[in-house]
Amino acid sequence: MPSATAVSPSAPMLQMLVGSWVSQALYVVAKLGIADLVHERPRSCEALAKATQTNEGALYRVLRALASLGVFTEEADGRFHLTPLADCLRTDTAGSLRAFAIMLGEQEHWKAWGAVMHSVRTGEPAFDHVFGMPHFHYFARNAEAAGFFNEGMASRAGDENDAIVAAYDFSKFATVIDVGGGQGTLLTAISRAAISPTVMLFDLPHVIAPRQGTVEQAHSGSRYQFSEGDFFEAVPRGADAYILKKIIHDWNDERAITVLRNCREAMTGEARLLLIEPIIPSGNTPSFNKLLDLMMLVWTTGGKERTEAEHRTLLDAAGLKLARTIRTNCPLVIIEAVPGA
């Protein structure tokens, strides 16, 4: 006879099915800045509604639902308090996910995911199907949406960069180039942690321009350099280490090999290539990266997360040899490669 306390398999399945409801509720409180408001002091829903210009009854229902999940706490007097989970939605706290929660709640995300069946049937990105163009082009034309997207992605970078610097010794290199390094946050972390390297940010001209003259560059002086170019065409020569952080996963195998081969052609002597990517574990091992791979399916043309074996195949095709893999305290793995025979 079944135990009266046995949990039906439908219970965890139900929690999974309503995950999008939770995500949207988190989006609401993140965009309204509720965690920042209750961090100052516990507040009633009436006060929070006035501060955010929202409907008190509707806001209360959102907060009540989240409090039942450990995001905020409602006291007997009706005031809402911060919890460790809610603290992650504050603006100026280490490891904040507020910008990421906002990014996931904007229409660009949920409309694309609403067409996921298109991707499964065709293998093509749902984003392009819904918005009529690739997401890179869309964000180039929609500044506000691009801002939410860039802030959301950058919000994950701090913890990732700290984990990378903690796992790998960059001080052994004289020159480090971050290929397609975007805002240069990883190079900033490296220049702060390692004594010797000259660091170079290599990216497209419109990406490089806003970074020149920054505080970090002024602090590092000549050790922080910039180079403009397209990694599909060529990469600056002569560095001791070339970094590709979350670049390869944006592209299909053919395009990925082109980038890797260009790095290989730029490498001399004892140079290293550091391919920093999410890795798909084998078997049924639970992994955030397996879910992230679905995001790549929905948003990118040919982009995907790969297994270690798949990365090895790409490196071999580009004339590189996988030397070792280094785990970090985040979903990213550092794959160190050297020129092949």
Residue linked to tokens 């403009």 = 228
Our answer to whether residue 39 is catalytic in this structure is no
Half-sphere exposure (Cβ direction) of 310: Cα atoms closer than 13 Å: 16
Catalytic residue among 109, 118, 135, 249: 249
Name the DSSP letter for residue 194. -
Q: Are 224 and 195 in contact (CB under 8 A)?
A: no
5: Cβ contacts below 8 Å, ≥ 6 apart: none
Tokens of 27: 């989006």
Name the DSSP letter for residue 25. H
Sheet holding 224-228, edge to edge: 224-228, 198-203, 175-179, 241-245, 272-278, 332-339, 320-327
Residue linked to tokens 């993140």 = 30
DSSP letters for 57-108: HHHHHHHHHHHTTTSSEE-TTSEEE--HHHHTT-SSSTT--HHHHHHHHSHH
Q: How far apart are CA 62 and CA 267, in angstroms?
A: 54
Residues in the chain: 341
Q: How far apart are CA 76 and CA 155, in angstroms?
A: 34
Question: What's the Rg (C-alpha) of the chain?
Answer: 23
3-state SS track over 148-187: HHHHHHHHHHHHHHHHHHHHCCHHHCCEEEEECCCCCHHH
Q: How far apart are CA 181 and CA 245, in angstroms?
A: 7
Q: What amino acid positions are annotated as catalytic residues?
A: 249
